[in-house]
Amino acid sequence: MNEFNNFTKNFKVTNSIVQLLVGGLINLEGKEWSKSRGSLNPIFYVEKLKQMVPAFQLSCAEIMNEWNNLASKDGSCVVEMVHYLESYTSKVLSKALLATDHSKDQRIYELLKEMSIMAKQTTQIVYIPGAKYWPTKENRRAKQIMSELKILFMERINDKTNAIKERRTKGDNFFDVILELDQVAEAHGIKNVDDVLGQLKLFYFAGFESTSMMLVWTMILLSIHQDWQQRARGEVFQVFGDREPDYEGLSQLKVVSMIFNEVLRLYPSVVELSRLVEQETRLGENIVPADTLLMLPIMMVHRNPEYWGEDANEFKPDRFVEGVIKATKGKNAYFPFGWGPRVCIGQNFALLEGKVMMANILRTFSFELSPTYTHAPYVVLTLQPQHGAPIILRKLN
Ligand code: HEM
C-alpha cells in the first residue's frame, strides 16, 4: 500500500452527490495535485497556525458565554453538543482559515449539510449508470443546492478579489492563496473559476464536520470516562492556570492529545477510504487486477484485536502514552487522517482548534451524558451520533 502512485482517488466512480460536494485538491492527481498541494501547504505551517489561535479562542469564548448564561440559574444546563460544536468549527473555519464573515457563511454550511445527508441516502441504493441524470426529487434538489452554493461562493470570490486588488488583505490565508489567479494560476494547478469553486467547496466541507465530530465523540467519551475527564482537566489547569490558552501551552497538552488519538481510533470521523487501482498491482501476496476499487475500512482496522489487543474496543488513551508508532508497534494500523502524501492537509489545524475548545470546556465545566442520550453511531459521510449528543454541563466552582 505504500506505492502511492498505484492507488489513485476514485471520485470518478463514486456517488454522484459526493462528486458534487468535493472538488479541488482531493480530486486532483499527479503533477496537478502536487502543484496545488505545494501551494496550499504553507497555509498550515506552524507559524500560520499560531496566528490563528486568537480566532479559535474568540469563537470558543462566544460559546462559553452562551453556556454560562444557560447555566446561570442553578449552575447547570443541558446542551446539544452537535449543534454547538458544528457552530464552533464552522466559525473557526470562516474566521481563521478563510478570513470571511461567518454570519454570512451560515447558509453555505446549512446547504453543505443538506447535501451530505442526501449523499448518505443515495449510497444506500444500488447504483444505476446514468441515474444522476434522472429528474428525481433528490437530483433536482441537489441541482438547486449547487446553484445556490455557486452564487454564494461567487459572492465570496468577488469580495475577496476586490479586497486583493485594493490591497485590503494580508494575502496569506487560504482564500487569498487560491485567488492569486492572475499571477500564479498555473503554479497552483488552477485553470479557471470552476477550479477555485472546487477548492472552496472542499475546504468548507472537509473543514467543519470532520472536526466537530471528533469533538462531539470526545465529549461523549469523556462523559462516560469521568477519570479521563478529570485527568484532562488537571492537565489543563496545570498548564494554563488562570491564563487563556495559547499555542505554547496547547502543545504541552499530552493527555488531551492521547485522548484525541484514542477518540479518533474508536470513532474516526472518516470511517473508510477508497482507492482505484488503475493498473494491475501486486498487493502483498495478491495480484489486484486493473480498474479494481479497493476499500480501506479505517474503523475496522482501528478496532482489530490483531493490532490493538483484546481490549481493542475499549477506551484506553494510555495506549498512546509513547506516541502513535509505539501504540501501533510500527504497523500501519492507525490512519484517522489518511496516510502517505495524501494525508489530511488540515490535520494540525483540526487538532489545534480541538485543543482550544477542550481546554475551554474543561476549565469551565464538568460534564456528563444526559439520560436522554442513546448510543447509536452512524455514518452520514462522517461518523455521527444518530440521536445527537445531549450533555449536562455543570459550572466548576
Ligand atoms: C478531525 C478532523 C479531520 C479528519 C478526521 C480528517 C480526515 C481526512 C482524511 C481521512 C483524509 C484523506 C482522504 C483520502 O485519502 O481519501 C483527508 C483529506 C483531506 N482533508 Fe481532512 N480531516 C479532518 C480535518 C480537516 C480540516 C480541518 C481540513 C481543512 C481545513 C481538511 C481538509 C482536507 C483536505 C483538503 C484533504 C485532501 C488532501 C489531499 O488529497 O491532498 N481536513 N482528511
Rounded to the nearest angstrom, the gap between the alpha carbon of residue 151 and the centroid of all alpha carbons in its chain is: 24
| Half-sphere exposure for 185 (CA within 13 Å, toward CB) | 9
Q: Which of 211, 262, 344 to mutate to test the pocket of ligand 1 (most atoms within 8 A of CB)?
A: 344
Smallest CA-to-CA distance from 395 within 6, 74, 1 is with 74
Residues 328 and 334 sit within 8 Å (Cβ to Cβ): yes
Sequence-separated (6 or more) residues with CB below 8 Å from residue 227: none
* 381 Ramachandran zone, left/alpha/beta (phi>0; psi -120 to 50): left
How many angstroms does the Cα of residue 389 sit away from the middle of ligand 1? Answer: 23
DSSP codes of every residue in 198-247 = HHHHHHHHHHHHHHHHHHHHHHHHHHH-HHHHHHHHHHHHHHHTTSPP-H
And the C-alpha cell for 24? 479541488
What's the burial of 72, exposed, middle or buried (CB within 10 Å: 0-12/13-18/19+)? exposed
How many angstroms does the Cα of residue 269 sit away from the middle of ligand 1? Answer: 10
pLDDT of res. 266? 98
| Half-sphere exposure for 2 (CA within 13 Å, toward CB) | 2
User: CA-CA distance, 284 to 269, in Å (whole number)?
Assistant: 28
Binding residues for heme, as ranges, are 344
Better-predicted residue by pLDDT, 172 or 119: 119
Confidence of residue 12 (pLDDT cuts 50, 70, 90): low
Q: Quick one: which atom of ligand 1 is closest to the CA of 382?
A: 5
User: Which residue CA neighbors atom 16 of ligand 1 most closely?
Assistant: 273
User: CA-CA distance, 224 to 392, in Å (whole number)?
Assistant: 12
How many angstroms does the Cα of residue 337 sit away from the middle of ligand 1? Answer: 6
User: CA-CA distance, 91 to 57, in Å (whole number)?
Assistant: 11
Average pLDDT score over residue span 79-101: 90
How many angstroms does the Cα of residue 351 sit away from the middle of ligand 1? Answer: 12
In tens, the pLDDT along 116-160 reads: 888 776 665 556 666 667 777 878 888 899 899 889 988 888 787
pLDDT of res. 184? 43
User: Which residue CA neighbors atom 20 of ligand 1 most closely?
Assistant: 344
Average pLDDT score over residue span 325-342: 90
How many angstroms does the Cα of residue 281 sit away from the middle of ligand 1? Answer: 26
- Note the ipTM here: 0.99
In tens, the pLDDT along 13-64 reads: 456 667 677 667 777 778 888 888 888 888 899 998 999 999 999 999 999 9
- Beta-bridged to residue 368, according to DSSP, are 392
User: Which residue CA neighbors atom 8 of ligand 1 most closely?
Assistant: 337
And the C-alpha cell for 165? 486588488
Better-predicted residue by pLDDT, 49 or 330: 49
Q: Quick one: which atom of ligand 1 is closest to the CA of 268?
A: 5
pLDDT of res. 324? 93
User: Which residue CA neighbors atom 42 of ligand 1 most closely?
Assistant: 346
DSSP codes of every residue in 114-183 = HHHHHHHHHHTS---TTGGGS--HHHHHHHHHHHHHHHHHHHHHHHHHHHHHTT-S-S-SHHHHHT-HHH
Smallest CA-to-CA distance from 256 within 173, 356, 166, 339 is with 356
Torsion sign over Cα 307, 313, 314, 320: positive
User: CA-CA distance, 347 to 41, in Å (whole number)?
Assistant: 11
What's the burial of 339, exposed, middle or buried (CB within 10 Å: 0-12/13-18/19+)? middle
Torsion sign over Cα 120, 122, 125, 127: negative
Q: Tell me what the pLDDT averaged over the chain comes to.
A: 86
Q: How many residues does the chain have?
A: 397
Sequence-separated (6 or more) residues with CB below 8 Å from residue 209: 86, 89, 112, 113, 116, 269, 381, 382
Residues 7 and 277 sit within 8 Å (Cβ to Cβ): yes
In tens, the pLDDT along 255-293 reads: 999 999 999 999 999 999 888 888 898 887 889 998 888
pTM given for the model: 0.90
How many angstroms does the Cα of residue 324 sit away from the middle of ligand 1? Answer: 18
SS3 content of the chain, % helix, strand, coil (to 5): 60, 10, 30
pLDDT of res. 310? 96
Q: Quick one: which atom of ligand 1 is closest to the CA of 350?
A: 27
Q: Quick one: which atom of ligand 1 is closest to the CA of 275?
A: 16
Name the amino acid, one letter, at 262: E
How many angstroms does the Cα of residue 211 sit away from the middle of ligand 1? Answer: 10
Binding pocket residue ranges, ligand 1, CB within 6 Å? 25-26, 37, 97, 202-203, 206-207, 210-211, 214, 269-270, 273, 336-338, 342, 344-346, 349-350
What's the burial of 358, exposed, middle or buried (CB within 10 Å: 0-12/13-18/19+)? buried
DSSP state of 313: T
Name the amino acid, one letter, at 185: A
Sole residue written with cell 443546492: 145
With a pLDDT cut of 70, the percent of the chain lying above it is 85
Sequence-separated (6 or more) residues with CB below 8 Å from residue 128: none
pLDDT of res. 188? 45
